[in-house]
Chain A
Amino acid sequence: MIPGVTLELILYATALGLVIIGLAGVVLSSHLFRMVLALVIAEAGANLMLVLSGYRWDAVAPILLQRAEQPAMVDPVPQAMVLTAIVIGVGIQALAVSILIRIRQRYGNLKRRDVAEKMDAEIAASAGIRRDISQDAPLGERPLSPLPAHSAESRGGDA
């Protein structure tokens, strides 16, 4: 084995890699179901990193023994936290999947661009405005016209 490569280094690299892959998948994927899968992967990496924060290579599992001298244990607090986080993660997954089912019932498919477009059109229709096509230049006038020069000067003179 290469010297300098420790168990902790490998595990940190795995955890960081999983988080990065998951976040990249959330940002880059074009299908909403893939987004949920990427979220699951990122959550797995976060759990691994949390357990890793309490890990010692020379310690035993956190179980109390009926012995005179207790050997060093790994930190049980992050493990308890991760135990909760796993269960909460499944709850989040079920919620996301149910939202996906509703989106599919309403818009017909799960392509991100398609769903966003239909959602934009629906919001514009319910607000009673024309749909803003361009992302760069907003439609219509500015909401407040700039103050005329003389009124700004007079207000400055009063103050």
Chain B
Amino acid sequence: MSEVELWIALILGIMMLSSAVLALVVKNHLAAVAAASVVSLGLALLFALMRAPDVAMTEAAVGAGLSSLILALALRRLGLWQIDSGSENSNLLSASSKGKDDA
């Protein structure tokens, strides 16, 4: 029982940390919002693991759902909404270093 929880927490923790880094380095803003939403969803699972089911429900509904919705709709308003990250270069990560340099 405890061993299973340990592995679940380890996998979720690694997923959340890597997704948090990804949210800050990826060039496409929509992908960054999705990565932040993954962090929030993993947090909800961790709350359920830590026997806080009410907090887990709220985090999944408000943190992962509503907040991603707000950020994604704000991207439309800010003019940063783009599904593709360019015609010739569709790799999200390779475009990010170039974007950081001229920013």
Contact = CB atoms under 8 A, between A and B. Distances in A.
B17 A10 contact: no
Interface residues of B, number: 46
B96 to A, nearest CB: 11
Interface stretch (A30-38, A123-131, A134-142, A144-152): A30-38
B6 A7 contact: yes
Nearest to B40: A44
B55 interface: yes
B43 A48 contact: yes
A40 B36 contact: yes
A interface secondary structure, majority:
helix
A121 interface: no
B interface secondary structure, majority:
helix
Contact of A11 (B50, B78, B80): B50
Contacts of B43: 44, 47-48
Nearest to A55: B50
Contact of B5 (A7, A59, A62, A111): A7
Q: Report which residue of B24, B59, B103 has the largest number of chain A beta carbons within 10 angstroms of its beta carbon.
A: B24
A38 B52 contact: no
B9 to A, nearest CB: 5
